[in-house]
A and B are shown apart, each in its own frame.
Chain A
């Protein structure tokens, strides 16, 4: 099976879906002539032309709004945000309009839009460019929220997102763009709303999404080797809908849980999962649910401090040992 980067996997998904369905188009800043701010859309303008790959001005509210409107008429736009942090400029379009159209129209109108882009810190780009708003988006009924951690999941989930008939918030990671993995050529889907047990284990469940999954796997290896602990890593893949069954099954097996994500703690994704677990699997818990989030402060600009602010393997390992105590 070919080994390609996460970035290339996204590129393949976009190209294949644009071939499959002529209504799919890509819009965003620098997606065309510059081949993408992070080169995710490399080669697409040359291949599909300016009607399908559209460079936009720096006006998220405008072009996201155009995308939402177009999708209501049958177009299937993929809107690229250069950073997911910029969604706040288009908040009304994304989370007021797109999210509610199906409901408010009594089901007559739907909005099959995909909004994608990197949502991560760790690259020294400061407090206004490092948001991870999957938790904010997931709070809105009417949208789906997806965070792939691997190249394989990235391609399969983007295809599923494009084919989905409701707004899908697709959160990538600039640091993961270079990660390589085995990705099948051709068509395959990773369904939305299904988590993946990336590593099976018996003593501890680590629930994570996005880059935190990669860290969790590193920590699981250390736990096995140095502490003889068998940790299970559950990659959520979709935040909304949340695969509750997989999470609960894992907790019922291991009885101890550590939640890891890059969100700021207050109302982060982990907060919702902790509620779910204690509500549905209370009697299966042998220890309180613990969480590793970003430290609760605006994203730090100084690189060594930012590294400490974000979940990292050392902090995750420390927390895991605490849950196992």
Chain B
């Protein structure tokens, strides 16, 4: 490895990046825009679910139940229906995601002390929202139900009873269950993976396609020097993105960063080296920009988006898919990021993930070098 040749390649690659300013802008603007979107616009939190209400009873009791629903910030009364047709229409056209149906005999049944049915219909197409909404509805009803019972007991016997059991939830690391706190740390990993692979997947293929590879081969430069030299500027660009993302997370979105920032950047560097070498490897193997870009997307973007535990929890997947998920470097990086960000834990807990991530990077870097040598001969 000759430092002079290495820096010459690095300088040449820097010029490439700087001259093609649109790629440079995009590699800086894309992370910012994505972060802004996620930070402000995208949330999995379910609140103010629009419901359509069919109140057949129209009594004080039924209106009290409705106000319990509408008064909780989980639901908003979108409209009132007077039959199943209205409900069907509201749900088909997605004006409402759920319907609350109160039967005609609601007040009588309650008065007679019978168990009183109330019906809830949810639009099951979005199962996640539906599950959350149903959970809220169950709790709202059960709490109101117990109040009714307590009240009745008091009226009939003058007995003062209390609610028997109460749940005290404690959500650790994210007390308000805000999805942004959980998404933004993971997002850093996804963005890095994509930017890294995108930036580097074309570099070698481009040299082949434009014919400049022959010129490079005729120089005394060696394979590892070329690959490392090409990687260095991109790694710095990637780290700049990480820095921007961390700053935005902290000052714009107030995502708590409880762990060690040094560890975060160290891991980011390891991850970037691996992800970028992966892009290089793709570039070396395909030799064509079109194929390289397709392969880079297939190999990096969707897996790190869908399989890495970024949003879809790995523990909910079938076992075989869990193995696949553990082949993806972003999985480890996301675990590391979430741990460092939210739990404030360090290597004492995350050592395994850190080791595996490093292992991945080393293997890919070596593989890229090895493959490149063979292509030259």
| A and B found bound together | no
Query: Interface on A for B, CB 8 Å cutoff?
Result: none
Residue numbers of B with Cβ under 8 A of A are none
